[in-house]
């Protein structure tokens, strides 16, 4: 299988690349390295196209000769989209159209798209299923939902096989600190600096975390399964943020305590994924227990920090 991975130098994309290579695929990566890291791809037998998905000609060239596209390149995060709404829409919607057009013109028949639970907005139920109302409440959520709709329209118009994977909270190797990022790398950064972990509110709010190795496996299953559709990707189990803070201190061996700030206005109390459809139709379920994954992530991160200091 010849696979194009857009955003393949990024956190999730590079893990998808690693798994595809393990499965014997020929891989081309398209990345502009704005948030991706070259050392994520160091030593890998891949073809590299450096460029921006906002450029239609770049996407056209990158799609030539491919069997499948794993589309992960994106501007990610609610707060980033509030700060830079034009960039968010240009990347997530127009960039997706450019990739789809490159596929159409070269006869690439299959796409696996990395979507987000942000398309749902504030959850109405603790376990969110695929048919939950889609009330995106940020430019990011809107742009990811619009890209999903565009992809589904290309499926209907041109007979493409398309799978949209709606990620909840992904963590794991190759995830670096980002002020716009999720709580695990933020906690990890504070632990490295031996500073207390910040919790907004009482810490009883719950979230569903999925290891990136499982996410990569879900992408591969989606590509080889011969199906189209939308699937929620989570562990199916939620954890309180206060418990997460405790576990991260335990796996790191650093007791730094926590600080409590006011609850953020947009912070929903509970959010998790109903994963039954992915298990039933794709044969996917999470395999990495959270505490094990946190320990693995901490070891990887300490290795990276050691390399920097060396």
Number of Cβ within 10 Å of residue 54's Cβ equals 16
The mean per-residue pLDDT over the stretch 194-204 comes to 94
Average pLDDT, the chain: 94
Reported as a pLDDT band with limits 50, 70 and 90, residue 12 is: very high
Per-residue model confidence (pLDDT) at position 310 = 41
Q: Kindly report the CATH number that applies to the domain delimited by 171-208+237-309.
A: 3.90.25.10
154 among known catalytic residues: no
Per-residue model confidence (pLDDT) at position 308 = 54
Closest CA to 111 of 155, 69, 62: 69
Listed by start position, the domains of the chain span 2-168+211-233, 171-208+237-309
pLDDT digit string, tens, across residues 96-118: 999 999 999 999 999 999 999 99
Per-residue model confidence (pLDDT) at position 66 = 98
The rounded distance, in Å, linking the Cα atoms of 90 and 92 is 6
pLDDT digit string, tens, across residues 116-136: 999 999 888 888 999 999 999
CATH among 3.40.50.140, 3.30.70.1060, 3.40.50.720, 3.90.1170.50 for 2-168+211-233: 3.40.50.720
The rounded distance, in Å, linking the Cα atoms of 102 and 108 is 8
Per the residue annotation, which of 113, 140, 154, 171 is the catalytic one? 140
Residue 247 has pLDDT above 70, yes or no: yes
Number of Cβ within 10 Å of residue 158's Cβ equals 12
Per-residue model confidence (pLDDT) at position 307 = 53
Report residue 166: phi and psi, to 5°: -95, 105
pLDDT higher at 121 or 73: 73
Model-level pTM?
Answer: 0.94
Closest CA to 144 of 122, 116, 123, 173: 116
The mean per-residue pLDDT over the stretch 4-13 comes to 98
The mean per-residue pLDDT over the stretch 138-164 comes to 96
């Amino acid at each position: 299988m010849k696979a194009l991975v857009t955003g393949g130098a990024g956190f999730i994309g590079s893990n998808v690349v690693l798994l595809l290579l393990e499965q014997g695929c020929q891989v081309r990566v398209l990345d502009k390295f704005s948030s991706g890291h070259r050392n994520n791809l160091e030593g890998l037998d891949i073809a590299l196209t450096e460029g921006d998905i906002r450029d239609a000609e770049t996407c056209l060239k990158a799609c030539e000769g491919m069997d499948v596209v794993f589309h992960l390149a994106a501007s990610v995060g609610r707060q980033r989209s509030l700060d830079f709404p034009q960039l968010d829409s240009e990347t997530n919607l127009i960039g997706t159209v450019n990739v789809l057009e490159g596929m159409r013109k070269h006869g690439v028949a299959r796409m696996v798209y990395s979507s987000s639970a942000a398309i749902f907005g504030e959850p109405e139920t603790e376990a969110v299923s695929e048919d939950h109302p889609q009330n995106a409440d940020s430019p990011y959520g809107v742009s990811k939902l619009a890209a999903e709709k565009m992809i589904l329209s290309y499926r209907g118009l041109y007979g493409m096989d398309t799978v949209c994977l709606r990620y909840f909270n992904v963590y794991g190797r190759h995830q670096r600190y980002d002020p716009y990022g999720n709580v695990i790398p933020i906690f990890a950064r504070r632990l490295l600096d031996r500073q207390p972990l910040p919790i907004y509110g009482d810490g009883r709010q719950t979230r569903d975390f999925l290891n990136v190795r499982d996410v990569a496996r879900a992408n591969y299953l989606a590509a080889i399964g011969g199906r189209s559709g939308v699937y929620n990707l989570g562990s199916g189990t939620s954890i309180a943020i206060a418990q997460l803070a405790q576990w991260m201190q335990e796996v790191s061996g650093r007791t730094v305590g926590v600080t409590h700030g006011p609850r953020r206005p947009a912070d929903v109390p509970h959010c998790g994924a109903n994963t039954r459809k992915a298990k039933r139709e794709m044969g996917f379920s999470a395999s990495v227990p959270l505490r094990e994954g946190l320990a693995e992530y901490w070891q990887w991160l300490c290795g990276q920090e050691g390399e920097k200091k060396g």
